Amino acid sequence: MAAPVEIDPTDRHLGEQLARLVPAADRDALVGLVLGLRHAEREGSSRLPLDPAILGPLTEALGLGPEVLRLAAELRQAPDRLAPVVGAGDAFRPLSVEDGCLHAQRMRALEQRLAEGLARLAAAPPVPGAEAALAEVLARPPVLGGRPLVLSDEQRAAVAAAGRQGLTAISGGPGTGKTSIVVSILRVLVRLGVAPERIALAAPTGKAADRMRAATEAALARIADPTDADRRLMAELPRPQTLHRLLGFSPRDETFRHHEHDPLAAQVVLVDESSMVDLMLADRLVRALGADARLVLVGDAHQLPSVDAGAVFRDLCAAGEGIAVTLRHSFRMDASDPRGRSVLEAARAVDAGDVRRVKGTGAVAVDALRFEGFERVGASGLEPFLERWWTTFGQPLVQGAGEPLEARGGRLTPAAAARAEERFARMDRARLLAPTRARREGVVALNDALHGRACAARSLDPRRSFAFGEPLLVTRNDYERDLFNGDQGLVLPVRSERGVRPSAVFRTREGMVAFGLEAVRSLTELAWAVTVHKAQGSEHDVVALVLPGEALPLTTRELVYTALTRARHGALVVGSEAVLGAAVEARAERFSGLRSRLDRARAR
């Protein structure tokens, strides 16, 4: 039996308003279909299949009657029978039926417009000289540990495609060398005559953009024999930014400065962590590209899809030759690093839905944890696990954090910034993840547990104070302070012209910046633990996924895979074998028409 689903009153109101326009005998059934469609959209789909095998369990969960399935079958055959509310294909009506699915007109129009824009990019003539430029790049590889970092055949194919094609989607799991590919693409582009200032680097979140910047700068610095083109790229490397900032989003009036009538100046836009890009944002981006611009999307199609509707990157990666390149070989399978290999093997087992293999890693006692490779702790071990996590990763973060850092004009001095950077490195080493905010095993409860320990260590009241060294997470954009949803900071004492006061310290484009704690309290929260969705775009030496006490719709294969792939060396799951197994078996299914629309648009 399907788990009950709560109905949103606004969805019912919408359905009832539309039902007033159809015959009385069909009104209840139409309300039910609208409720089903709105639920599908809230779950990330852009349409609702009218197939009874899919619609049946949903109507049961919503508490709807058999008349909904009856009407769905009739509309599949004759959509116009409920005109003017429902129509076929591109009929300009509130609802439409196409490819056996029910669409809201606005969602269908959004998908269609995006598909046509993507098809236009894919149809761009190939750029000449990409292979020659790649050959020059390959002749001067970066060097790490005295060894040249040589691209594999599939990595070369990805770089060549990005240099040649108008639209490229590159998908690869952990360790497949996406950073090396991004840097190689940049080096190829400048050799093809694209000025660095005409390249835009972007990511969905500020955290992912910062990671992109650090990884790109480090990789460029490893080029042993740079050419003039490489030196220019190093000197003028475009700073990665969030997609909203790139597109000129104004939070005051919720508009975008760049669109089809005021396009971006960039000749090439390269986006990292593209699985996080939703349908609306992808449409905004493609509409903002200039007539001759090219688009490169990089990410992992097996990760969680975007929070909002759509599965754009997944659909593009299924589009085949001429758009998609898939990276299959992982360089974390190096026998010299069994820790990374163990995590990767567990992530691959999860991605394959191999429950037996995932469960084959038996639960270990908390005091036996090594925080290396893939490990499991049973649900009954949550409390002792939190104590072990605190002593291993929490205490080192708050110990010694009470020494003030010097700041001038709100910015840390170079010496203070270096000390703060050491603290940030400790924070980045490990992170607790959870599927939800609520529940005993959710983010709020986990943060409270570690916050209590941090305050107890300094004899502070956890209801009124933060302890120095505690991590913070920005929960909404603040353009005036240059802080963005997902940015992470630390509570630290800062000495300025006003004396010493508790401050929130963040990495920004202007360096290490300190804000009075009270000034940012409304847009931050503790970040000892974050949701898996918030963790996308981050990477840590060790991650721990704390599962809920029972299987939930949110606990899916993609969620567990995303959590495990945030880890470099150690990933552990805290929770029952039954909940883990159910999560590995469950898919985060999204119903999207983008792929079929793109195929049709490319065929025209």
pLDDT digits (tens, 9 = 90+) for 540-562: 999 999 999 998 888 999 999 99
Distance between CA atoms of residues 126 and 156, nearest Å: 17
Mean pLDDT of the region 276-289: 95
Query: Are 369 and 390 contained in the same domain?
Result: yes
Q: Which residues contact 55 (CB under 8 A, 6 or more apart)?
A: 36, 48, 49, 68, 69, 72
In the prediction, which pLDDT does 335 show? Answer: 46
In the prediction, which pLDDT does 465 show? Answer: 83
Query: Are 448 and 539 contained in the same domain?
Result: yes
Mean pLDDT of the region 16-27: 94
> Is residue 300 assigned to a domain?
yes
Distance between CA atoms of residues 447 and 528, nearest Å: 5
Query: Are 403 and 431 contained in the same domain?
Result: yes
In the prediction, which pLDDT does 14 show? Answer: 94
Mean pLDDT of the region 392-417: 91
Mean pLDDT of the region 79-102: 92
What is the Cα Rg of the chain in Å?
25
Query: Is the model's pLDDT at 1 over the cut of 70?
Result: no
> Is residue 487 assigned to a domain?
no
Per-residue tokens: 107: 């969602």
Q: Which residues of 397-408 are buried (b: 16+ CB within 10 A; e: fewer)?
A: bbeebeebbbbe
Domain boundary among 332, 362, 393: 332
pTM of the shown model = 0.86
More confident residue, 478 or 346: 346
Q: Can you spell out the DSSP letters for 332-363?
A: GG-TT-HHHHHHHHHHHHHHTT-HHHHHTS-B
DSSP 390: I
Query: Are 85 and 197 contained in the same domain?
Result: no
Mean pLDDT of the region 395-418: 91
Asked if the bond preceding 84 is cis, omega within 30° of 0, the reply is yes
Percent over 70 (pLDDT), the chain:
98
| Confidence band for 333, pLDDT divided at 50, 70 and 90 | very low
| Confidence band for 374, pLDDT divided at 50, 70 and 90 | very high
Among 11-15, 268-272, 282-286, 376-380, the minimum mean pLDDT is found in 376-380
Asked if 86 and 95 touch (Cβ cutoff 8 Å), the reply is: yes
In the prediction, which pLDDT does 332 show? Answer: 55
Distance between CA atoms of residues 443 and 467, nearest Å: 18
Question: pLDDT for 42-90, tens place per residue?
Answer: 989 999 999 999 999 888 888 888 999 999 999 999 999 999 999 998 8
In the prediction, which pLDDT does 2 show? Answer: 56
> Is residue 578 assigned to a domain?
yes
> Is residue 40 assigned to a domain?
yes
CATH number at residue 291: 3.40.50.300
Query: Is the model's pLDDT at 440 over the cut of 50?
Result: yes
Domain containing 226 equals: 129-332
Query: Are 83 and 143 contained in the same domain?
Result: no
Domain count, the chain: 3
Query: Are 264 and 293 contained in the same domain?
Result: yes
In the prediction, which pLDDT does 336 show? Answer: 60
> Is residue 517 assigned to a domain?
no
Query: What is the Cα 276 distance to its own chain's centre?
Result: 4
> Is residue 33 assigned to a domain?
yes
Query: Are 232 and 303 contained in the same domain?
Result: yes
Q: Over the chain, what is the mean pLDDT?
A: 90
Mean pLDDT of the region 408-426: 92
Query: Are 310 and 394 contained in the same domain?
Result: no
Query: Are 89 and 206 contained in the same domain?
Result: no
> Is residue 511 assigned to a domain?
no
Query: Are 83 and 231 contained in the same domain?
Result: no
Nearest to 526 by CA among 445, 440, 425: 445
Q: Which residues contact 65 (CB under 8 A, 6 or more apart)?
A: 28, 32, 59
Q: Can you spell out the DSSP letters for 4-45?
A: P-PPPHHHHHHHHHHHTTS-GGGHHHHHHHHHHHHHHHHTT-
In the prediction, which pLDDT does 149 show? Answer: 82
